[in-house]
Amino acid sequence: PAWGRPAVTRPEPRACIVGWPAKHSRSPLIHGYWLKTLGLPGSYGVEEVAPGDMVGFLRTLQARGYVGCNVTVPHKETAYRTVEVLTDRARALQAVNTVWIERGVLHGDNTDIVGFLASLDAGAPGWDRKAAHAVVLGAGGASRAIVAGLLDRGVELVTVVNRTRDRAEALAESFGRRVQAVGWESVGQLLPPADLLVNTTSLGMKGQPPLDIDLDGLKESAVVTDIVYVPLETALLAQARSRGHQVVDGLGMLLHQAAAGFEHWFGRRPEVTPELRQVIVDDLAR
Ligand code: ATR
């Protein structure tokens, strides 16, 4: 430039999703949409990294030209053990799905909790004012994040129902007295007092068996939500909708957890808009 200082060209921030496999991920489409519509420099790609290579991958993340990454199956626990600075949420879940670098140091967060809560807030505003009792189907990693989020927002009692009862019991025990575990056979008795029903299992997902549950007995004011988003309208949500319940599909959680990561890497909080939802819905239909 004319005033004599050499122009400093900053490399464009690059982020990616790391998984094994990861090719089917919609995250590049989501982040690419935000980069384009916000007019920000940057890119978001895909890295398939085998389980044995994940620690090395994270330690060389910066050298590979990345400012951060999303972490998906099966690497969330490895990321939790590898990053140097953890948020409280990541520590509570012992799982990291979002990594960024600050002054050369790896930081890890888990944005599934805020993603789930933001999706519920958007799809069923005011849900938490009346949700005293929640029933959560499933006891895996997604369930753990959702239970933590529900407790954070004041739900008095969370009942976890899982095919493998031991897993539900271990999860309930790790949270304390506001979480209880029951066997799948008692789900019918749980429905009448429930204000919120959440499916966190993979049942109902394309290619998986259906979730076989009869919602008879669920009170009309109860909200029903599913984390499955392929298909968007699962049999559970279709049944709930036909009974007059407010329903929240699983795409919102994916989009809202992504928004939190985007802010870490690209410096702006993006919005989850109907237009973005439609872009992903169209892609899923392909
Ligand atoms: P995520 O991280 O998505 O939660 P996960 O840890 O593999 O994934 O958990 C999958 C959940 O779906 C578990 O609750 C699992 O039940 P088990 O603990 O009994 O395995 C549940 N799930 C998957 N397939 C199922 C099936 N066919 N019937 C009942 N539950 C199933």
pLDDT in tens, 114-165: 999 999 999 999 999 988 999 999 999 999 999 999 999 999 999 999 999 9
Q: Is the pLDDT of residue 251 over 60?
A: yes
Please indicate whether residue 139, judged by its CB atom, sits closer than 6 Å to ligand 1. yes
Alpha-carbon gap, residue 64 to 96, rounded angstroms: 20
How much distance in Å is there from the Cα of 170 to the middle of ligand 1?
A: 14
Residue 122: what pLDDT?
A: 97
How much distance in Å is there from the Cα of 60 to the middle of ligand 1?
A: 33
3-state secondary structure of 2: coil
The helix-helix angle for 141-152 and 112-123 (nearest 10°) equals: 60
Torsion, Cα of 15, 20, 24, 25 (10° steps): -40
Residue 27: what pLDDT?
A: 97
Work out the average pLDDT over 35-56.
98
The residue extents of the domains of the chain are 14-110+253-285, 114-249
pLDDT in tens, 194-233: 999 999 999 999 999 999 999 999 999 999 999 999 999 9
How much distance in Å is there from the Cα of 141 to the middle of ligand 1?
A: 9
Q: Is 36 a catalytic residue?
A: no
Residue 226: what pLDDT?
A: 98
Q: Is the pLDDT of residue 277 over 90?
A: yes
Please indicate whether residue 221, judged by its CB atom, sits closer than 6 Å to ligand 1. no
pLDDT in tens, 54-86: 999 999 999 999 999 999 999 999 999 999 999
Residue showing tokens 């990053």: 83
Considering all CA atoms of the chain, what is the largest pairwise distance in Å, rounded to the nearest integer?
77
**What average pLDDT is seen over the chain?**
95
Please identify, by atom number, the ligand 1 atom nearest to the C-alpha of residue 201.
12
Alpha-carbon gap, residue 262 to 139, rounded angstroms: 28
Residue 10: what pLDDT?
A: 75
Distance of CA 93 to the CA centre of its chain: 12
Q: Which among 76, 130, 206, 219 is annotated as catalytic?
A: 76
Residue showing tokens 């929640």: 134
CA atoms within 13 Å, Cβ hemisphere of 51: 4
Sign (positive or negative) of CA dihedral 265, 267, 272, 273: negative
Q: Is the pLDDT of residue 3 over 70?
A: no
Please indicate whether residue 201, judged by its CB atom, sits closer than 6 Å to ligand 1. yes
Q: Is the pLDDT of residue 20 over 60?
A: yes
Task: Please choose from 75, 77, 187, 202 the residue to mutate so as to test ligand 1's pocket, defined by most ligand atoms within 8 A of CB.
Answer: 202
Same fold, 14-110+253-285 and 114-249: yes
Complex confidence, ipTM: 0.97
Please indicate whether residue 138, judged by its CB atom, sits closer than 6 Å to ligand 1. yes
Residue 2: what pLDDT?
A: 56
Q: Is the pLDDT of residue 1 over 70?
A: no
Closest CA to 74 of 98, 56, 95: 95
Alpha-carbon gap, residue 187 to 214, rounded angstroms: 9
Sign (positive or negative) of CA dihedral 76, 77, 82, 87: positive
Residue 130: what pLDDT?
A: 87
Alpha-carbon gap, residue 175 to 152, rounded angstroms: 11
Q: Which CATH class is domain 14-110+253-285?
A: alpha beta
Please indicate whether residue 74, judged by its CB atom, sits closer than 6 Å to ligand 1. no
Residue 86: what pLDDT?
A: 98
Residue 36: what pLDDT?
A: 98
φ, ψ (nearest 5 deg) of residue 279: -60, -45
Residue 170: what pLDDT?
A: 97
Instruction: Give the residue, 186 or 67, on which the prediction is more confident.
Output: 67
How much distance in Å is there from the Cα of 43 to the middle of ligand 1?
A: 33
CATH 3.40.50.720 fits 114-249, yes or no: yes
Alpha-carbon gap, residue 51 to 124, rounded angstroms: 38
C-beta separation of 58 from 96 below 8 A: no
